[in-house]
Amino acid sequence: MAPADPLRNLGVHLSGRGGEIRVWSASAASIELCIFDGKDPNWVTKTIPLNKDAHDVWSATTRSLMPGTYYALRADGPTDPMNAFEPKRHLLDPYARGLARTSTGEWRGYVQDGSFDWGGVEKPRVSLDHTVIYEAHVKGLTRLNTAVPEELRGTYAGLAHESTIGYLKDLGITAIELLPVHQSVSEQRLQKMGLTNYWGYNTLNFFTPHAQYASRAAQFGGTGAVLREFKGMVRLLHEAGIEVILDVVYNHTSEEGRGGPTSSFRGLDDAHYYRHMPDGAYFDTTGCGNAIDYSTPAAQRLVLDSLRYWANEVQIDGFRFDLAATLGRDENAVFTPEHPLISAIAADPHLEGVKLIAEPWDVGMGGWQVGNFPAPWSEWNDGYRDRMRNFWLRDIAAARETGLPSEGIGSLARRLAGSNHVFSLERGPLASVNFITAHDGFTAWDLVAYDDKHNAGNGENNRDGSNDNKSFNHGHEGHSEDPVILATRRKAVRNLLGTLLLSAGIPMLTSGDEFGRSQRGNNNAYCHDDALTWLSWDHDPWQDELVAVTRTLTRLRRENPALRPVRYGRFGETTPSASQMDWYNKQGLSMSPEDWDSPAERTLQFLAASTPEFEEFNRILLVVHGLETSVTVTLPEHAGVVGYTLLWDSSVDDLDGVDTVHAPGSELEVGPTSMRLFLAH
């Protein structure tokens, strides 16, 4: 018989004998459970001492723990610099699945009612090569959408409304990646400034949905109502074939630095939950005041249990791990791909089929780890982001200033083909999550409209946010009525979207980029919970045209498997679900070193043929031209290709009146800074 798991069933679990609570702390000298009055969570009606076992798990069983019971913990222990015990402070159970706030602003856990009828709806289980991710904020996505009933705007139910789901389906989205929905609070600094942490990267608890994103009816609907609304959102998205990915922040907590608010981990076992310097000061690799120490088995188990809960009981399809390098740091704070937590998440049978996406860096020493996570992890590819921005924006700005762009087209081609210089052959192109923008930084429209950040509204005198945006305003900073500038900006956005959705790898589109959303040059709008960050659904005609372009691109990606290989090809071999890639210059000849590297030669033709495993054979030709002058392109002659049919051209909004059928060897005039996609047949 296998030995009992010493860290089993942490938190509250109900049985016929009542509820058992189990809490881990290696440093505490005593822990007691506080039960509160059912109507007044400030009034303690009972205290129960917890007993410690040989594995540092403290537990008690009581019939007072039942669905809806408010409870907290109090802990006492050493007073050395590594600990922060306050025996009279009420602390949250790290595993609490329900949270409530008292009239005095304190937090209480409550025993959750997790019952829910899934109605037989199962996870969509979309394969990675068919995945198109849409990064969005629960509130910001629907707060201004008049197609959603007013009482549901900006809520989980609003996201699940038929108009929202219909829009996502029509756009070609297969997965919505939600900015943090674990219960979060605003930092003390922001509260003093009258601002809020809108993005939510300041987690209070890893097991509860953020109550403020629920409808008012759910917030005041009693035990389990918020969780039921959240699960209802997941069920309706799944019915539509859309997966739900959560952006999870396990690298730090809302307890901030040493002077921050003590709410849970610090008061239970500061010495073991957080990283410290020898003098007791925090060793912070996150830039947020603290870093959880994942060299300890209890912290590792906390993450695994949280993931299992969301993946199974809430039916979440995937997770994007914020500052994931912190999760892979050992007892010496050194990142290792073989870290027990990184490996355990990947191998956990309870997480089988769950999508795992790392933000593969943090702010500590040796924190940039792009390409170093093991399979089956995928990673945000910042090199892809930077190169595509440079090619379409900064290089063009340089050409206007000096007469030549900064670089040739070779580095773009590597990223376009799946970044095989970054990710191992075994992991393949789907290890790369490609993105041009994300929640932090400029929107796509602001990339083409601003050279500099404009963050004065953040209250930090424009010091915050990146100074290296790789953007280009195309001749005027900010809003412009100049028709030439506007036309050039719109084409630049089409090029960015086209590159993103036609590249090998997993594309992630930031919500609003499909219609040119602007934050007026603010590249760090984390503290704006207002119309600056909420999506506007009142669009000008050019914005609707951009949505149509995005819809076309996702459809073309879906219909052409040559654009979304699963594996890297090997020279001289036929690899199933890879793409055979051939590269030609503007004359239709094989690329020379000068064609790859010369800033004066920024035109290539990318012929990709699928190697079928599950889908029909497919071959496409993508023409990329990165100069602000037109060029004559000779379509390549290639064995088995008898013609090319134009599917998309970034230089126009649609193909009405455009010749679309061309023979190999024919010459085409390709407009300045543009892309064309052909079906090769």
Within 8 A by CB and 6+ apart from 561, the residues are: 129, 610, 612, 615, 616, 618
Within 8 A by CB and 6+ apart from 528, the residues are: 195, 198, 457, 458, 519, 522
Within 8 A by CB and 6+ apart from 120, the residues are: none
At 262, list the tokens. Answer: 């003590």
Helices 162-171 and 541-559 cross at an angle (nearest 10°) of 60
Residue 450 CB neighbour total at 10 angstroms: 26
Q: Do 274 and 267 contact (CB within 8 A), yes or no?
A: no
Beta strands per DSSP E along 284-440: 318-321, 355-358, 378-380, 432-435
* Helix then strand then coil, % of the chain, to nearest 5: 25, 20, 55
User: How many angstroms separate the CA atoms of 564 and 577, rounded?
Assistant: 9
How would you label 334-346 residue by residue, b for 16+ Cβ within 10 Å and e otherwise? ebeeebebbeebe
Q: Do 267 and 84 contact (CB within 8 A), yes or no?
A: yes
- ∠ Cα 404 408 410 (to 5°): 170
Does the annotation count 170 as an active-site position? no
Within 8 A by CB and 6+ apart from 586, the residues are: 601, 603, 604, 605, 625, 631, 632, 633, 634
Q: Which residues pair with 608 in a beta bridge?
A: 581, 620
User: How many angstroms separate the CA atoms of 86 and 40, rounded?
Assistant: 23
Helix and strand numbers, DSSP H then E, in the chain: 16, 25
Q: 45's torsion region: left (phi>0), alpha (psi -120 to 50) or beta? A: alpha
At 334, list the tokens. Answer: 């050194």
From 56, 293, 322, 514, active-site residue: 322
User: How many angstroms separate the CA atoms of 530 and 508, rounded?
Assistant: 24
Does the annotation count 313 as an active-site position? no
User: How many angstroms separate the CA atoms of 342 and 356, rounded?
Assistant: 10
From 243, 256, 284, 359, active-site residue: 359
User: How many angstroms separate the CA atoms of 307 and 200, rounded?
Assistant: 18
User: How many angstroms separate the CA atoms of 58 and 51, rounded?
Assistant: 5
User: How many angstroms separate the CA atoms of 629 and 466, rounded?
Assistant: 31
Active site residues: 322, 359
